[in-house]
Amino acid sequence: MTTQKSRRSETKRDRFRRLAQARTNQVIKRLKILGNCADRSRYEYAKEDVERIFLAVDRRLNKTKARFDLPSDREEFKL
């Protein structure tokens, strides 16, 4: 486990890699868990339910992806 002292000396790149890896793995795990809802022997759902779920997931994914693409394009207005 990383000690607090070594985390303080951690570069921004290292911190990004550490956190992005852990958070990405969490997202993947949660998507697998969501996939368990596809078991028709345990759950009943309509095609529209599935479409709404993945519309919400797609929207959030696109918003998150845009945050990585757009930060340098932002312009701040000042008087």
* Tally of domains within the chain: 1
Contacts of 34 (CB under 8 A, 6+ apart): 53
> For residue 53, what pLDDT is reported?
98
Q: Are 35 and 27 in contact (CB under 8 A)?
A: no
Across all residues in the chain, what is the average pLDDT? Answer: 90
Residue 16 structure tokens: 């990004």
Q: Could you tell me if residue 43 is inside a domain? A: yes
Domain, as residue range, for 22: 4-72
Q: Which residues of the chain have pLDDT under 70?
A: 1-3, 5, 71-75
Q: Could you tell me if residue 79 is inside a domain? A: no
Residue 68 structure tokens: 């990585």
